[in-house]
Amino acid sequence: MNALEKLRRSVVLLESFGIEDACREAELILSHCIKTDRVTIYRDNPRVTESTLRDIDEMLQRRKKREPLQYIFGQTDFYGLTIKVGQGTLIPRPETELLAEAAVRTIPNVKFNNSRLRFLDLCTGSGAIALALAKAFPDSQVYGTDISEIAIKYARENAEISGMENVTFLQGSLFEPVRKMVTDYDLRFTFDLITANPPYIKSSDIAGLQPEIRDWEPVGALDGGEDGLDYYRAIIPEARNYLKESGALLFELGTGQADAVKKMAAEAGYHGISVIKDYAGIERIFISHRGYP
Ligand code: GLN
């Protein structure tokens, strides 16, 4: 069968599964399996081998069960990096790139001497934010922590795939792995930046999420407690103990959470608090500075 015929049939099938963006998804699945780009498919209409047809069919059947395309492909792009993902790790979203970009832009303001930049990414998941920082600042030392063993496994693999040697991933709850390092080595472990895209969905909203998220992505990476703010409440006061005086704390936020998080940070003594909107106009990225005591 030729590619365009398979493409046509795949679109029909995906539509019958109720997939909204059937045409784009079919193009992505075919391009992935044929190992070409969509332009080549439309221009050359190459012949598709039997084994490739089987690969395509297998992926279409996985989409029928609403498995996210990124899990089916086993990877996604983030900040120009290829990030391996699979069940047990949250798929990095385009909005989260805004957090990485904001973190990179914050650095000239927090760096005040020539010591090695040190970053901490909490709830690191697949390691996307930590790896983006490691890429942007090759001389920095980046740490990523996550409570999930599976996530840390993916994060370490992603560090290896991207060839990033200045990142260390540690399993444990929030600051716990770093706290341990402080006592182990008896040195004050302070950071120029602390970043986090923590779970921020209200517990009661989880059931109403789209099936790709609700049935496939790890609930532990989504559920932020009753009001969705549990992790901000835990991180904001404690982060001050781990930030340099010039250091900054950055978060990704859930919809409608900016005011509550700003208030928490102001009460904890942070300065220079600001928020950046995402492509949809939602206040998505939170930035604050530790400030001098
Ligand atoms: N951005 C994710 C979503 O919309 C949530 C990720 C999170 O809780 N940090 O489903």
Residues 273-281, mean pLDDT to the nearest whole number: 97
Residues 101-127, mean pLDDT to the nearest whole number: 85
From ligand 1's centre to the CA of 199, what distance in Å?
7
What does the chain come to in residues? 293
> 52 in helix, strand or coil?
helix
Q: Where are the alpha helices (DSSP H) in 87-224?
A: 94-110, 128-136, 149-161, 176-185, 211-214
Name residue 278's amino acid.
D
Nearest CA to ligand 1 atom 2: 222
The three-state DSSP-derived secondary structure of 224-254 is: CCCCCCHHHHHHHHHHHHHEEEEEEEEEECC
- Spans of all domains in the chain: 3-65, 75-289
Is the CB of residue 167 less than 8 Å from the CB of residue 144? yes
Residue 48 above 60 pLDDT? yes
Conformational region of residue 269, where left means phi above 0, alpha means psi within -120 to 50, and beta covers everything else:
left
Can you give the pLDDT at residue 113? 57
Specify the pTM: 0.94
Is the CB of residue 257 less than 8 Å from the CB of residue 226? no
**Residues of the chain above pLDDT 70, percent:** 95
Can you give the pLDDT at residue 109? 63
Can you give the pLDDT at residue 186? 42
Residue 185 above 80 pLDDT? no
CATH 3.40.50.150, domain 75-289, yes or no: yes
Can you give the pLDDT at residue 189? 67
Burial of 36 (0-12, 13-18, 19+ CB in 10 A): middle
Centre a 10 Å sphere on the Cβ of residue 8 and count the other Cβ atoms it contains.
Answer: 13
Span 224-250, pLDDT tens digits: 999 999 999 999 999 998 998 889 999
Which one has a higher pLDDT value, 130 or 181? 130
Q: 107 pLDDT band (50/70/90 cuts)? A: confident
- Closest Cα partner for 286 from 206, 242, 229? 229
From ligand 1's centre to the CA of 9, what distance in Å?
33
Span 126-169, pLDDT tens digits: 999 999 999 999 999 999 999 999 999 999 999 999 999 999 99
Atom number in ligand 1 closest to CA 224: 8
Conformational region of residue 56, where left means phi above 0, alpha means psi within -120 to 50, and beta covers everything else:
alpha
Residue 82 above 80 pLDDT? yes
Sheet containing strand 271-277, edge to edge, reads: 167-171, 141-146, 118-122, 191-196, 243-252, 283-289, 271-277
Can you give the pLDDT at residue 250? 98
Which residues does a 6 A CB cutoff place in the pocket of ligand 1? Answer: 90, 93, 197-201, 213, 222, 252
Is the CB of residue 154 less than 8 Å from the CB of residue 224? no
Atom number in ligand 1 closest to CA 217: 10
Can you give the pLDDT at residue 236? 98
Q: What is the mean pLDDT of the chain?
A: 94
Q: How far is residue 253's CA from residue 234's CA, in Å, rounded to a whole number?
A: 14
